[in-house]
Amino acid sequence: MRWVSGVCFALALVFGVSLGGQTIDYTWGPALLALSLALLSAAGGASALKERGKGTWIALTFLFLAWGWVLWRCWGSPVQEFARADALLVGGMIAGCFWGLLAAPSGAAVRIVMLALAVLGLVNLAFVLCQVRDSSFSWPFASRPGFFPSGLFGHYNHLADFSVVSVALLAARFFFAGDSKLERIAQALGVIAATACVFISTSRGGMVALCATGATLMVLAALIAWRDKSKKARLLAIAALAGPLILALVAVPVLKHFQERRGIQDLSLSQFADNRTRLQLYGTAVDISMNHPLSGGGSRSYGWEKYAAWKPEEGGMLPRNDDFVHNEFLQSAVEYGWLGALLIGCGVLSAVLCSVAGLFSADPSSRFPRGPIDALMCGGLAAMAGTLVNSNFSFVTHTIPGAIYLGLAIGFALPRRAEEVYPSSRATLVAALLLLPLAGILAVTGIRGTRVYRAVWPVSFGKERLGVYAPGISLELMGDALEHWPSAHLAGRAGHVARRAAERQGQPEDEVRDWHSKAVEFYNRAGKLNPNDPEWALNRAIALSALNRNDEADRSYEEAVRLQGGMEGSFRARYYFAQHLFHRYHSAWESRACTPGQALTGFIRARDLLKEANSMTEQWVRGKEEAAFQKNLEDMIAFLEGAHVTPEPLLEQK
């Protein structure tokens, strides 16, 4: 069963990296399904749990306190789909951790996973080289969101983090485990490929994390040599002291090269450290966390609380509409409170201290080889170091592969004895019963997520692009997917499909209205599932305006303005509201549906909105079209006022 467990876990990594390396939770379905099978088939290693020291159980206690707190806060989160996503990430991390705990250090399962990491590193390198030549290369997806090479992932930072973890685990296996020659060749190739991926991706956080990983491995190698009283101890101690300095010297020109590739003229390290955008995100996150310092705002709450907290005069008039702080500790403080962040920090710290103590307390005179265990523990510690460093720069644990391999690193790092413990039927049965609830939840969710992913693939991800060429079929597929996986993201995308269909030229008026009506229905659904996102209110308002359901459109625009807060530069809700008011009252005036005084009142309100929008956006963002609109609006107001028209109250909205 051990090789079956290894194959299933390797498949979980493959599916997670190739299909689930994003923050959309239903795309994790295939990985979760494979992970559930890996977890159940790993129960045969349960006999090894009783041989672990007290330190392991102390670390696990702190980890379960942290996981339990996050799951409890997920339960009370305002937006259910974000709570579901974070709960699945915790479940994936727990599953990865226990798989690492139960896996035999020299067994077939671990070797299969190491081979999978090496192969994924080589495949990622091949994809990265293709993307260097052609930045649009994104197989099997129709496109990818970033410009920098990202391999099988959508974002280059996720590629860098996975590559750093691969380097840590494969390098430790290569140096300590003593596997066969062919396995060591594969491990070496995997390390080279993963290292190359970090360099080519130009991820600055990934480069710093890679240096931290290398330094951690050097220090651990010296400590193990000192523990075993090896003749190489003195040489490795010198390398452990000099290695980090050498890595830092190498990192400096590499980081400068990364800055140059990004078009940054000032290549100094002070410019690298003085990242104003990140510092603004961090400052905003700290401000938000003070609104609920203990319990936090709930899963992904930073994504909407930042709207009200953003101050254009301080943070900039063109903010990034990003749901993540790009610092996982601050993200956890916002969403789960400083108490939750403290519990997470204590869990990680206890795992590190327990692992280091386990390495020191090992008996070097044991008749069983320590190499495979040292490989797992050192690799796990180095992988944790790299991921935690990179977590200060990106949202690396908010994808299912990130959660799985961080859990795996923790499970590998925790101590175990050198003797090969043969599985007992009693221990296997007890472990299977304990792991069954988690495996069952992951399996059921994985099956549902896979079904939804398969349904919407040709609409949103694949090269078929049904959303453009067959909108009717697309809406049927997405409507069915929403029944099985309620999601504002899915409903909003369906609304976008309907709106694009309404904008096609040469359609009868009835068909255009029908498409806009469907768009309104899906945006309404998205707004109910996530009432905190201004995107759905704004798009609903635009569709309602096209249907001449003006009173409803006014209310939706007002809601969008309220929800967007200081992020006019991202959503432009005030600008679109002003356009809507101008066209509404100009049309009503021409058709004599309102008096000139009422039209003037509508125009003045549009002008006020436009002034507010201008004070919150840069000149270049507004462009010539907006300047022409503003001039037209001012001319219309001047004409009516010149004709001695006075503003009159508007009719009350129904």
Q: Which amino acid is at 377?
A: M
> Could you give the C-alpha distances from 414 to 12, 42, 226, 353, 553, in angstroms and in order?
22, 17, 20, 9, 57
Asked if the structure places residue 356 within a domain, the reply is yes
Joined together, the tokens standing for residue 323 give 């749901």
Asked if the structure places residue 181 within a domain, the reply is yes
Of 535, 561, 584, the residue at which a domain comes to its end is 584
> Could you give the C-alpha distances from 442 to 36, 39, 95, 488, 569, in angstroms and in order?
6, 10, 9, 22, 40
Same-domain pairing of 398 and 534: no
Q: What is the pLDDT of residue 274?
A: 46
User: Distance (Å, rounded) from C-alpha 408 to C-alpha 96?
Assistant: 5
CB atoms within 10 A of CB 492: 22
Residue 453's nearest CA partner among 23, 33, 25 is: 25
Q: Does 319 score more than 60 pLDDT?
A: no
Same-domain pairing of 376 and 250: yes
Q: Buried (b) or exposed (e) across 452-483, using 16+ Cβ within 10 A?
A: bbebbbbbbbeeeebbeebbeebbebbbebbe
Asked if the structure places residue 246 within a domain, the reply is yes
Same-domain pairing of 351 and 495: no
DSSP secondary structure string for all residues of 67-91: HHHHHHHHHT-SSHHHHHHHHHHHH
Of 417, 437, 454, the residue at which a domain comes to its end is 417
Asked if the structure places residue 518 within a domain, the reply is yes
Average pLDDT rounded to a whole number, residues 456-480: 91
Q: Which amino acid is at 214?
A: G
Question: What's the CATH number where 453 sits?
Answer: 1.25.40.10
Same-domain pairing of 478 and 329: no
Same-domain pairing of 406 and 339: yes
> In this predicted model, what pLDDT tens digit does every residue of 163-206 receive, in sequence order?
999 999 999 999 888 889 999 999 999 999 999 999 888 888 88
Same-domain pairing of 329 and 478: no
Asked if the structure places residue 431 within a domain, the reply is no
Residue 326's nearest CA partner among 289, 357, 283 is: 283
> In this predicted model, what pLDDT tens digit does every residue of 553-593 receive, in sequence order?
999 999 999 999 888 888 999 999 999 999 999 999 988 88
User: Nearest 10 degrees: CA dihedral of 386, 404, 292, 83?
Assistant: 160
55-64, 83-92, 229-238, 472-481: least confident range: 229-238
Q: What is the pLDDT of residue 266?
A: 54
Same-domain pairing of 395 and 497: no
Residue 165's nearest CA partner among 400, 9, 381, 393 is: 381
Q: What is the pLDDT of residue 30?
A: 96
- Give yes or no for a contact between 140 and 38, defined as CB atoms under 8 angstroms apart: no
Q: Does 315 score more than 70 pLDDT?
A: no
> In this predicted model, what pLDDT tens digit does every residue of 295-312 receive, in sequence order?
899 999 998 898 888 877
> In this predicted model, what pLDDT tens digit does every residue of 590-620 receive, in sequence order?
888 889 999 999 999 999 999 998 888 777 6
Q: What is the pLDDT of residue 48?
A: 53
pTM of the model: 0.90
Q: Does 653 score more than 60 pLDDT?
A: no
Asked if the structure places residue 526 within a domain, the reply is yes
User: Distance (Å, rounded) from C-alpha 349 to C-alpha 381?
Assistant: 11
Q: How many CA atoms lie within 13 A of 619 on its CB side?
A: 0
How many domains are there within the chain? 2
Same-domain pairing of 366 and 495: no
Same-domain pairing of 506 and 361: no
Asked if the structure places residue 271 within a domain, the reply is yes
Same-domain pairing of 402 and 456: no
Q: Which residue segment(s) compose the domain that 545 sits in?
A: 445-584
User: Distance (Å, rounded) from C-alpha 129 to C-alpha 133?
Assistant: 7
Helices (H), 174-301: 181-201, 204-227, 233-261, 269-273, 276-289
User: Distance (Å, rounded) from C-alpha 306 to C-alpha 309?
Assistant: 5
Same-domain pairing of 179 and 267: yes
3-state helix, strand, coil split of the chain in percent (to 5) is: 75, 0, 25
In this structure, what are the phi and psi dihedrals at residue 83, rounded to the nearest 5 degrees?
Answer: -65, -40
- Give yes or no for a contact between 555 and 563, defined as CB atoms under 8 angstroms apart: no
Asked if the structure places residue 621 within a domain, the reply is no
> Could you give the C-alpha distances from 132 to 147, 258, 284, in angstroms and in order?
10, 14, 35
Q: Does 259 score more than 70 pLDDT?
A: no
Residue 433's nearest CA partner among 39, 3, 90, 72 is: 39
- Give yes or no for a contact between 617 and 626, defined as CB atoms under 8 angstroms apart: no
Residue 497's nearest CA partner among 454, 451, 466 is: 466
Residue 82's nearest CA partner among 339, 398, 392 is: 398
- Give yes or no for a contact between 361 and 95, defined as CB atoms under 8 angstroms apart: no
Of 584, 601, 617, the residue at which a domain comes to its end is 584
- Give yes or no for a contact between 20 and 27, defined as CB atoms under 8 angstroms apart: yes
Residue 478's nearest CA partner among 108, 26, 3 is: 26
Confidence tier at 267 by pLDDT (50, 70, 90): very low
Residue 198's nearest CA partner among 209, 207, 185, 186 is: 207
Same-domain pairing of 567 and 507: yes
What single DSSP character describes residue 595? -
Q: Does 486 score more than 70 pLDDT?
A: yes
Quick one: residue 506, left, alpha or beta (phi over 0 = left, psi -120 to 50 = alpha)?
A: left
> In this predicted model, what pLDDT tens digit does every residue of 271-287 receive, in sequence order?
554 456 677 788 888 98
Average pLDDT rounded to a whole number, residues 100-125: 92
Helices (H), 301-327: 302-309, 312-315
Look at 228 and 496; give whichever has higher pLDDT: 496
145-149, 164-168, 454-458, 599-603: least confident range: 145-149
Task: Return the residue matching tokens 């496109």.
Answer: 143
Task: Return the residue matching tokens 């490989």.
Answer: 375
